[in-house]
Each structure stands twice: as structure tokens, then as C-alpha cells.
Amino acid sequence: MAPLNSWEVIEPANYFKSFVDQSSRPDGRDWNTARPISVRVGSIGTAEGSATVRLGNTTIVCGVKAELCRPSLEHPTRGFVVPNVELYPCCSSTFKASLYNAGPPGEKAISTSQFLQRLLQNNEIIDYEQLCVVPNKWAWCLYCDILCLDYDGNLIDSSLLSLVAALLHLSLPTVNIDPDTEALSLSQKHTQKLTIKVLMLKLIDRL
């Protein structure tokens, strides 16, 4: 998290205008220079898939846990991907703490989670049917916990990058079903990777 400039806090409009007049940014970049990006997968050993993304001074980690569930009646051959963004005061003073950090997520965390959900569903980034195990009976539900460790802007871009990288790293176990009892068992000998159908990520460089 970059330290706040007192001028930025007191007069934010004039602060940013001074950089516009110089055709530069507060971190020293010019208009056409993107923030540096680094991606590391496998950062959480207990998750089925994980990734850590650093975009400028913003650091996001995403861990994916897979659970078997019942498909919805509306889409009996599709599974679920549930992104959940968490923003704690330790990553930025922008996010104020409630008593003992209790209570529901903040508005920015909720809106970012909802945006990622819509983005996955509306842009065919992932084919949800590959998460189906048995139509009308069993499907994978992927819980994607996205935690901001250090916040300095670009929340949506960095969260999306970490989510997609974690899904690409994801390995789903083989599901075996007993034909007599219909009992389920999981095998790690043969795992399944997800296919990302469309990956068109336009990085929007924000201050």
C-alpha cells in the first residue's frame, strides 16, 4: 500500500490535476506505460487452485475450493463458480474496520464480487458444463476466495487476473460413482483441468 500524500488527501482534485498537466502519473509512469504485472500460481497448497497477482502495488491472492453439489433445476448440466472478494483494513486504510471485523462485506467488496460473477457468465470465459459430473445430480461448485493483501488501485483488473490464473491452475479430482449404492469417491490419480474458452482481458490502467 503506497503512503498517502497529504496534498492528495486535502486537495485530491488539484493533486491529480498537477500530474495531468505534466502528462505523468503519481507513481512516475507516463500515460502509455502499464503497471508492472507478476503472476505466481500454486501459492496456496491446501486449495485445488490458487494464484497470487501483483499489479503495480496491489497484491491479490485467490484460492479455489471445489465441492460437489446439486445442479440447479434451470441448468441441470452446469456447475457453479462463486467469486468472493474480501477487503480488510490491513490492505488499505480505505476499508474501515467494524468491531472485530464482524458483519457483512463492504460495498466495494460486494460490488466487485458481483461484477466478476457477471463477467464470467456473460463473456464465456469458462464453460460451466465442464463442471457437470452427472446431469441433474452432481456438479462442481468452485468457491473462489479473492483476498486483497495490499491495495493501491486496479482492484477489478488484479482480482480478475488472480481468479483466471487460479482457475487455470485448478485440478479437479476424478469422481467415481458406485453403480449400486451411488456413493461418491474422489481419486487424485487422474485430475481434470478446466478449459478457459475465451480469455480477452483488457487491462484498464487506473490511477
Question: Domain limits of the chain?
Answer: 1-33, 36-193
Asked if 102 and 69 count as a contact pair (C-beta separation under 8 A), the reply is: no
Q: Return the pLDDT at 177.
A: 84
String of DSSP letters for 19-52: HHHTTB-TTS-BTTPPPPEEEEE---TTSSEEEE
- Can you give the pLDDT at residue 200? 46
Q: What is the CATH number of domain 36-193?
A: 3.30.230.70
Residue 29's pLDDT is: 76
pLDDT (tens digit per residue) in 37-65 = 899 999 999 999 999 999 988 999 999 99
Give the contacts of 122 (CB within 8 A, at least 6 positions apart). none
| Side-chain-side CA neighbours of residue 63 (13 Å) | 9
Give the Cα-Cα-Cα angle 109, 64, 155 (nearest 5 degrees). Answer: 30
Q: Mind giving me the DSSP string for 71-107?
A: PPSS-TT--EEEEEEE--TTT-TTS---GGG-SSPPH
Cα→Cα distances 31→16, 27, 47, 201, Å = 13, 11, 38, 19
pTM, full prediction:
0.80
Residue 68 is predicted with a pLDDT of 94
Tens digits of residue pLDDT in 154-207: 899 999 999 999 999 999 988 888 887 878 888 788 888 988 875 544 433 332
CA–CA gap between residue 50 and residue 163 (Å, rounded): 8
Gap between the Cα atoms of 145 and 82, Å rounded? 8
